[in-house]
Structure 1
Amino acid sequence: MTAPAVNIAAERPLPETTVIRSWKAPVALAVFTVLFAILILVAPRAGETTFRLSSGADPLQLPPLALPVVLTTWVCLIFLVLLTAASAYFVRASGRSPLWIVSVYIGIIIIGFLTWAASGSTIPVTGLLAGSLGLAVPLIYGALCGVIGERVGVVNIAIEGQLLAGAFTAAVVASLTGVPFLGLLAAMVAGVLVAFVLASFAIKYLVDQVIVGVVLNVLVIGVTGFLYSQVLQPNAALLNTPPRFGRIAIPLLSDIPIVGPVLFNQTIIVYIMYVVIAAVYIGLFHTQWGLRLRAVGEHPQAADTVGIKVNATRFWNVLLAGSIAGLGGTVFTIGNGIAFNKEMTAGAGFIALAAVIFGQWHPIKATLAALLFGFASSLQNTLSVIGSPVPSEFMLMLPYLVTIFVVAGVVGKSRAPAADGIPYIKG
């Protein structure tokens, strides 16, 4: 009689799955919840805050929204506590906090803080949002540049220099020709030239990418500063009086309450930005180009074995990213009709890098992160105008505090492309 076969594999105990938990998000949310609670307890404010939802030029007028300060702030605090607890629950159950919790948390704390800070005053919502978009446009261009570069495996610290080079070139060319569109094209070329230096040293000569990026930033700041002092200032009427792009209102869409004037009554630079966002997203995730790009950034050896030219792919995509950043630099000059000035980008390239990390190297998420940073800057200006009791020094720090908050706190565990920053040597 034959003995029954024993399935040893079936009886062997399965290995336990280790769940890696990142408590950064719930801890950060808890800290900011406590700070908000201290704010409304130590410095309580009464009265009402009015949110004006329409401007005088809007065809459809919405009534203003008045919120009682005490009730609104306490309701917001309760929701913040619940969202913090939910974040901790999800981390304990699945190892990470969902992005929607962070997004809702940010929205609620903004409402609560605005209601408290503007007590007795009126906040123009349309103006605040329009200012946020205007300040976020160069950040979005810079973030898209960073997403493409890091997805293909090159860390682009030189976004600041590319934005500044684009702003300088656009101002000079548009001033000489009187044609803003030529300034826009020249800015893209300037961004490509800076990216060419980065790609040459980082990809061909294997120089550390971070060092090359930092040096390029210093180089562009020095060159544009020297040319501004020695060339542009003595000939300002000829070389530094750039025309600006006019606003183009899209029929019907620009009449939508609140969002219409903000999104659809803009310059051509903003409309190009909408196209670039969609093109980068579709290209990265729905085309052969994007598949090759991501393969080179994740596993260059495997990409090489299937015939993809790794270094050539990196080189040309870094140049493409540079053209996008150069285009973003035009916002500082011909986008607003402002003369070029020394270091006028004021760290926008580094905030764009923070948006790339906060957005987890995804073009849509990075765009939303850039919008958040733009909102923080616009909020600083709005609260200063309405006479908020928040100290002016704190308001100047606000955009950078938000940057630190989202990158060091709410991002949680995120992974850059595996070959990001690692040079590829064939064979």
Structure 2
Amino acid sequence: MSTAPVVVADDSVVEKRLDDSRPAGWWHLPATTTVLGLIALVFFGPRGLPGAESVYALARETDLNPLGLVPERVTLPSQGGAIVLSVLALAASAGLWVLQARQARPSRGVRIALIAVFAVAWVLAFMTWVISQRSLDVTTLLQGTIVLAVPLAFGALSGVLSERAGVINIAIEGQSLFGAFGATLVGSLTGNVWLGLLAAPLVALIMGAAAGALRGRLPGPADHRRRRPERPRHRRDLVLLRHRDAGQPRAVQRAAARLPTLRVPVLADLPVIGRVLFEQNILVYLMWIIVAGLTVALFRTRWGLRVRAVGEHPKAADTVGIAVNLTRWKNVLLGAAVAGLGGATLTIGTGVAFGEEMSAGKGYIALAAMILGRYHPVGAPLAALTFAFADSLQRAWAPCPPPRAGSPSPATSCSCSRTWSRCSRSRAWWAGCGSPPRTGDPTSSSELPPPRRAAQRRRVPSSPGRGVPHRVPSPRGAAPHVALRPPGAARSSPPEPPQ
């Protein structure tokens, strides 16, 4: 009997057609960039200080800068520079209009290049307007961005691993908190920060498995559309219980351990990007390695193909023999371990002792970064860098009073920004910033509301023979108390407060 395949003569011919139709929302991106460019041109340019200068510090004397290719300082006129950069952003927006209008499917590289030009020009226009009469160390700003982005990037990568397998994991916050606790506890008990680094993903992985077991089971192929996200509340409660009962007596009393900084000898001396990329701890380098490895594994290996098949069409994957539940379990546990590394960044990565609220919602911000990055191992860290850059700007440039006569030199960086943010509603805030508040300033001490009383009068029901309750003034700084005086007794005069 012949085993040759049978060819049917009347097989239908498969035709491939290229869809050149323009998407319905092609104008959304150009319209958004145009509105943002007009906002920059209207607010950042004309509202700048005329005659003021904005200084960007780029390089240092010790940097590897042959022939001075990168200038140490770049000075721009605040008003004129903001206007020019805003016009450049509008020009990039016009290029997007032309590209989107002429071609139904524009080139991806040209589109990304125009978006990058617009973003850089808009951010520089904003920064030039903000740092009028001051200077900004660009390297310090970017270093702060990397430090703030590492826990967000690890959390976003954890979400990508779970989401690609078809599981919505909103427990990134709890997993990061467990990683931070495990790193601090093990590193403090053993005195070895490297053991704490190894313990962070292991503790988060164990707690991720426990949470999955408590939940019952991960969704199978039949209930893929009805899957429920994991609830992280019990994880946070458990880690706080362990922190109060087990870890706190010994871990908090010791000095917080910190991972050493690993410096690449030559590359770390490059201007601007040298200390940002090549003078960090091992967690920063590990983040770049995980981003590259996860991108290759998801889109260039058989494992990644199976994971994406389970996440996109679990019934079809189950039909061809792929273990859907097992694949999802593996990805959820792997994502928990990655989130634990992000938690380790909060403690041993920065040398800060463990605290109950130290994650401060970073797990949910990482979830938003994952969605903004379109569930991609490269897009999610880029979104995390965007959020971290905004946070770094907020930390570096708290509102600072305008310079006046007798105030610090305007050419220096805004060193009083943190003092202003701490004591702006205090009577002596001007002691750290250099000049007193003006009349009519909403932060002036004369216009501040009176402080609340530290303690309210305690009401004691009066009865015959028990006396009448009255309030006895206490010395300044002490809480008032209630005493009893006999009925009919004269009210004593309050004592003079101590000078």
Work out whether the TM-score is over 0.5.
yes
- Could you tell me how far 1:245 is from its partner in structure 2? 0.6
- Could you tell me how far 1:310 is from its partner in structure 2? 1.5
* Separation in structure 2 between the aligned mates of residue 68 and residue 209 of structure 1, nearest angstrom: 57
For residue 49 of structure 2, what is the aligned residue in structure 1? 45
For residue 63 of structure 1, what is the aligned residue in structure 2? 72
* Separation in structure 2 between the aligned mates of residue 115 and residue 294 of structure 1, nearest angstrom: 44
- Could you tell me how far 1:302 is from its partner in structure 2? 2.2
After superposition, the C-alpha distances for 1:312-364 in whole angstroms (9 at most, x for unaligned) are 11110111111111111101000011101112111111221222122111111
Local SS of the residue matching 2:371: helix
Letter in 1 for 2:236: I
- Could you tell me how far 1:233 is from its partner in structure 2? 4.4
- Could you tell me how far 1:101 is from its partner in structure 2? 3.4
Whether 2:168 is the aligned partner of 1:140: answer: no
Say which of 294, 314, 320 aligns to 2:308.
Answer: 294
* Separation in structure 2 between the aligned mates of residue 191 and residue 331 of structure 1, nearest angstrom: 13
* Separation in structure 1 between the aligned mates of residue 393 and residue 196 of structure 2, nearest angstrom: 30
For residue 136 of structure 2, what is the aligned residue in structure 1? 123
* Separation in structure 1 between the aligned mates of residue 417 and residue 161 of structure 2, nearest angstrom: 42
For residue 166 of structure 2, what is the aligned residue in structure 1? 153
Local SS of the residue matching 1:119: coil
- Could you tell me how far 1:37 is from its partner in structure 2? 3.0
Distance 1:102 1:18, change over 3 A: closer
Contact 1:69–1:115 (8 Å) recurs in 2: yes
After superposition, the C-alpha distances for 1:139-181 in whole angstroms (9 at most, x for unaligned) are 1111111111111111111111111111111111111111111
Say which of 101, 105, 130 aligns to 2:114.
Answer: 101
Which has the higher mean CA deviation after the structures are superposed, 374-383 or 201-210?
A: 201-210
For residue 486 of structure 2, what is the aligned residue in structure 1? none
Distance 1:69 1:17, change over 3 A: closer
Contact 2:47–2:79 (8 Å) recurs in 1: no
After superposition, the C-alpha distances for 1:55-102 in whole angstroms (9 at most, x for unaligned) are 465354742111111221111211222233333444544378944433
Local SS of the residue matching 2:286: helix
Distance 1:116 1:230, change over 3 A: same
For residue 181 of structure 2, what is the aligned residue in structure 1? 168
* Separation in structure 1 between the aligned mates of residue 113 and residue 20 of structure 2, nearest angstrom: 29
- Normalising by structure 2, we get a TM-score of 0.69
* Separation in structure 2 between the aligned mates of residue 56 and residue 223 of structure 1, nearest angstrom: 51
Contact 1:157–1:350 (8 Å) recurs in 2: yes
Q: Which has the larger radius of gyration?
A: 2
Whether 2:209 is the aligned partner of 1:181: answer: no
Number of equivalenced pairs: 378
Counting only pairs closer than 5 Å after superposition, residues 345-424 of structure 1 correspond to structure 2 as 345-384=359-398, 386=414
Contact 1:76–1:112 (8 Å) recurs in 2: yes
Local SS of the residue matching 1:243: coil
After superposition, the C-alpha distances for 1:31-53 in whole angstroms (9 at most, x for unaligned) are 32333233225632231111111
Runs of 5+ consecutive residues of structure 2 not aligned to the other structure: 1-12, 399-412, 423-499
Contact 1:150–1:156 (8 Å) recurs in 2: yes
Local SS of the residue matching 2:218: helix
* Separation in structure 2 between the aligned mates of residue 195 and residue 137 of structure 1, nearest angstrom: 21
Say which of 322, 326, 331 aligns to 2:336.
Answer: 322
Distance 1:86 1:193, change over 3 A: farther
Percent identical residues: 38
Higher relative contact order (CA 8 A, sep 6+): 1
Counting only pairs closer than 5 Å after superposition, residues 170-249 of structure 1 correspond to structure 2 as 170-197=183-210, 199-200=212-213, 201=215, 203=218, 212-213=229-230, 215-216=231-232, 218-238=233-253, 241-249=255-263
Distance 1:17 1:198, change over 3 A: farther
Contact 2:168–2:229 (8 Å) recurs in 1: no
Local SS of the residue matching 1:94: coil
Local SS of the residue matching 1:373: helix
Which has the higher mean CA deviation after the structures are superposed, 162-171 or 81-90?
A: 81-90
Say which of 352, 358, 366 aligns to 1:344.
Answer: 358
Runs of 5+ consecutive residues of structure 1 not aligned to the other structure: 1-8, 394-427
Contact 1:117–1:389 (8 Å) recurs in 2: no
For residue 28 of structure 1, what is the aligned residue in structure 2? 32
Contact 2:45–2:79 (8 Å) recurs in 1: no
Contact 1:160–1:349 (8 Å) recurs in 2: yes
- Normalising by structure 1, we get a TM-score of 0.79
For residue 419 of structure 1, what is the aligned residue in structure 2? none
For residue 277 of structure 2, what is the aligned residue in structure 1? 263
Letter in 2 for 1:126: T
* Separation in structure 2 between the aligned mates of residue 17 and residue 377 of structure 1, nearest angstrom: 40
Task: State the Cα RMSD in Å.
Answer: 3.1
Distance 1:195 1:19, change over 3 A: same
Distance 1:90 1:315, change over 3 A: farther
Structure whose residues are more often helix by fraction: 1
Local SS of the residue matching 1:115: helix
Say which of 78, 82, 90 aligns to 1:81.
Answer: 90
